[in-house]
Chain A
Amino acid sequence: MARVLCAMSGGVDSSVAAALLRDEGHEVTGVTMKLWGGDSDTGCCSVSDVDDARRVADQLGIEHHVFNFGEDFEKWVVGPYIADHQAGRTPNPCIECNRHIKFDRLLERAEVLEFDYVATGHHAKVVRADDGTLLLGRGYDYAKDQSYVLHMLDQNQLAKLLLPIGSMTKDRVRELAAGYGMRTASKPDSQDVCFITSVQGRGKFLEERINLTPGRIVDTDGAQVGQVEGVQLVTIGQRKGLDVGGHATPRYVVDIDVPTSTITLGTKNDLLTDVTALTNAEWSAGAVSGKVLVQTNAHGDTATAVLGADSITWDKPHRKIAAGQSLVFYRQDPAHGELVVGGAMAAKL
C-alpha cells in the first residue's frame, strides 16, 4: 500500500484511475488543479469540473483538495504560448503544462505532503526495461495514447508516476466508470487547448494578446503575390484564408520568416523535406541516435527516420514541421510495444 496523490480533472479517465488505485488498497487523495481563470469550454479548470472531481472523490470516500497553480500556469504555459506565437513558433501547451505543472509543481507538492506517488488518468504506461531503466510506453488504446505529451518525463519522474488506466481501452474505462456509478462515466473527452474556447478559437485568442506583424506573401521565386495582417497567425501547410487564388495547382504555406515578415507559398512538393533541424532534445534514459520512430503531433502518424546530433533525417521526404512543435522518438520493444526514448523541438525551418 502506498500513499498516492491522484490528479483528478473531473473527467472519466482520472475518475477511474482514482477508483482503481483505491480498490488496489492504496491510500488515495484526489487533487484538482485550478490553472486557468479565464473562459474555457471544459478541460481542467471550470468550477463544474472541480465539482465533478470532488463528487467522484466523495463517492470513493477519498480526500480531495484543490490546488491553485494559476500563477504558475500563466508563467510557464500561457505566457510562453503567447510569446512563442509572437516569435513565429508553434508550441504545444499541453506538453509545457505536463513539464512545468503536473510533473514539476504537483510532483514537488506531493513530495512535500509525503505522498509516495502521483497518479494521473493519462493513456500511457510506465514500463521497466530489462536493465532496470524506466520508460514510457504507449497506452494500450493506441487511438487514445498520450505518451507524446508525456515524453519529457525523466527517470525520477517516471519512478514517482502511476498510470492506472494505461493498460486498458477507453471503452473499458467508460465501462468501469459506469460500473462504479460515476457521474463522469459518459462525460465527453476534453478537446484541444484547455484555455482557448471553441467559440473563440486560437486565432482570436492570439489576436487579443500579441502584436500582429503585417507581412508579404511571396512565391518560391521571391515574387510578391499578396499580403497578410499577421504573420504570426499563419501556419505551415496552410492552404486557405490567404486570398491568393488563381493558381492551377494548390498552393501551401511552405515557409514563415517572422524577422522579415515573409510568408512563402509553394506546391505540395515544396512542403516536403529530407531533414528537420532539432533543438532542446531531452532523453528518457540517456541520449539516443540512429533509427527511430518519430511522432510529430499529439495524435499523428509516425514516420521512420535516423536521429543525428542536432537534426533528423527522414527515411522518406516528410512534411515540414513548424518551429516549436515537439518530435517524440520511440523504439519498438518486443515485450512492451512502442516506448518513448526522448523528444526534441523542431528548430527554425
Chain B
Amino acid sequence: MTQNPGEPEPVAYLDNAATTPVRQVAIDAMVPMMSKCFANPSGAHRMAREARRALDDARDVLAPGLGCEPGDIVFTAGGTEADNLAIIGAYQRHGGTVVCPAAEHHAVLHAVEHCGGTIVATDNHGRVDLAALAEILTPEVTLVSVMLVNNESGVVQSLDPVADLIAEHAPNALLHTDAVQAFPWIDVATAAARADMISISAHKFGGPKGVGALVIREGVDIAPQLIGGGQERDRRSGTQNVPGIVAMAAAAQEMLATRDETVARIAAQRDRLVDGLVDAVDGMIETAVVNGDRSQKVAGSCHICVQGVESEALLVLLERENIFGSAASSCSSGAQDPSHVLAAMGMERSMAAGSLRLSLGFATTDAEIDHALAVIPGVFDRLKMFG
C-alpha cells in the first residue's frame, strides 16, 4: 500500500475473539480503585465499605445483562475459573456423570474429562448433536455444559432444546453455559434464561484480563474450588480483584448500552470482509457457517479457508503486513494446535490446517477492514504458488 511519510502504518487487529482492547470507560473506572479506593472490601472500616460498595454496584450493573439476581454473581479470575468452578464444583457436590459436547472450549472440555465425564458429538456446525445427547442423558447425569457461542466458529447454539432434553431425560442435571463469546454479541439474559450457571469473561467485551464471573442461580449447590476466607458467599474465597471487577462492570455497562448498534455495524463490516475476500481469492471458501447463513453466527466472526494453504505460514506473512488474526487455537507454547473444534465439526484436516479466524470486535474500524482487504488476497496468492 502507498503511504504518506509520517503517517502511521495501517494495522488491522482481527483477533477480538482472543481478546479485545480495554474500553476507556473501564480504564477510567479501574484506576481510582487502585489509587484511592484500594481498601480490602472484607474490612469493617469506612474505606473497606467503599470498596465493598463498588463491588456491590458492579453486581447490580451486571445482573440485568445476565438475567440473574445480583447475589447470583460470583466473581472469578476469568472464564476458565468460572467454567472449572461450575463443572468440577457440581461434580464434587453431586457426583454422577458430567457431560459436554466435543467442540467446547478447553476450559470446559478438559474439566469434564478431569471429572471422568462424557463427551457428546457435535453436528457439522459445531452445535451439540441433540440425538446423541438424548441417548446419554439419564437420571445419573448431574451436569450438562453447552456453550452459547463457539469461540472458533462463532456459531450460536440455542439452549432451549438442550434444556428440554434435560427436563425429559436427566431431571437431576444442572445446565451450565459458557457464555464467554456470547455476551459481547447476544442477549444472554434471554438466551441463557434456562441455564443454572453462566460463565463470562471481562476481556472479551472491553474489560481487563484476569476477571470474570460465574452466575450461580439461587438454590444451585456446588462445591467451592478456592477455600479460605469465605468471600463471595463461601462460593469463591480470596480477596476480590476490586479494580478488575469494577472495570468489568464499566465495560459491561457500555457494551450493553451499545450492543445492538455494535452488532449492526460490525456485521456489515464482517460481511464486507468475507465477501470481499471470497471474491478476490480463488478457491477461498467461508467456513464454520450454517448453510451460508451468517445470521446463525455472531457478528464479529469470520472464518475462511483455502485448501492447501498452511495457516501457520499465513499468519507470519499477515503479521508482516500488520494484520493480526489467528488459526485454530493457540497452545501454551505459542504454537498453533490443530483445532479440536473444527475436527469435532467434521472438517477435513487439510481444510482445517488452512483455516483463518479473523474476529472483529467493538473497536474494529472501517480502515482496518480496508487494510485487510487490500493485503490478504496477495498473501493467499503468494502461498498458493507454493501449495
Contacts of B316 in A (CB 8 A): 65, 113
Chain A min CB distance to B317 (Å): 7
Contacts A111-B386, A112-B383, A112-B386; A66 near B313 (Cβ below 8 A): no
Contacts of B334 in A (CB 8 A): 50, 54, 66
Q: Is the CB of B335 within 8 A of A34?
A: yes
Is A168 interfacial (CB 8 A cutoff)? no
Number of chain A residues whose Cβ lies closer than 8 Å to a Cβ of chain B = 16
Whole-angstrom CA separation of A54 from B333 in the bound complex: 10
Contacts of B317 in A (CB 8 A): 113
Contacts of A109 in B (CB 8 A): 310, 312-313
Q: Is the CB of B386 within 8 A of A50?
A: no
Is A205 interfacial (CB 8 A cutoff)? no
Whole-angstrom CA separation of A70 from B334 in the bound complex: 13
Contacts A34-B333, A111-B386, A112-B386; A71 near B313 (Cβ below 8 A): no
Contacts of A34 in B (CB 8 A): 331, 333, 335
Is B332 interfacial (CB 8 A cutoff)? yes
Is B118 interfacial (CB 8 A cutoff)? no
Contacts of A47 in B (CB 8 A): 332-333
Chain B min CB distance to A100 (Å): 16
Is B338 interfacial (CB 8 A cutoff)? yes
Q: Is the CB of A50 within 8 A of B333?
A: yes
Contact with A along B353-373 (1 / 0, CB 8 A): 000000000000000000000
Chain A min CB distance to B124 (Å): 22
User: For residue A54, which residue of chain B has the nearest CB?
Assistant: B334
Whole-angstrom CA separation of A298 from B317 in the bound complex: 37
Contacts of B382 in A (CB 8 A): 112
Q: Is the CB of A66 within 8 A of B386?
A: no
Is A280 interfacial (CB 8 A cutoff)? no
User: For residue B383, which residue of chain A has the nearest CB?
Assistant: A112
User: For residue A32, which residue of chain B has the nearest CB?
Assistant: B333
Contacts of A71 in B (CB 8 A): 338
A56-75 residues with Cβ-Cβ distance < 8 A to B are: 65-68, 70-71
User: For residue B382, which residue of chain A has the nearest CB?
Assistant: A112
Contact with A along B315-343 (1 / 0, CB 8 A): 01100000000000001111111100000
A23-77 residues with Cβ-Cβ distance < 8 A to B are: 32, 34, 47, 50, 54, 65-68, 70-71
Whole-angstrom CA separation of A51 from B267 in the bound complex: 38
Contacts of B386 in A (CB 8 A): 108, 111-112
Whole-angstrom CA separation of A67 from B337 in the bound complex: 9
Q: Is the CB of A68 within 8 A of B312?
A: yes
User: For residue A51, which residue of chain B has the nearest CB?
Assistant: B333
Contacts of B331 in A (CB 8 A): 34, 68
Q: List 18 interface pairs A-B (beta carbons < 8 Å), by A numbering.
A: A34-B331, A47-B332, A50-B334, A50-B335, A65-B316, A66-B333, A66-B335, A67-B312, A67-B335, A68-B335, A68-B336, A68-B337, A112-B382, A112-B383, A112-B386, A113-B313, A113-B316, A113-B317
Interface contacts beyond A68-B312, A112-B386: sample of 11 additional A-B pairs, CB < 8 Å, sorted by A: A34-B331, A34-B333, A47-B332, A47-B333, A54-B334, A66-B334, A68-B338, A70-B335, A108-B386, A109-B312, A113-B317
Residues of A within 8 A of B (CB): 32, 34, 47, 50, 54, 65-68, 70-71, 108-109, 111-113
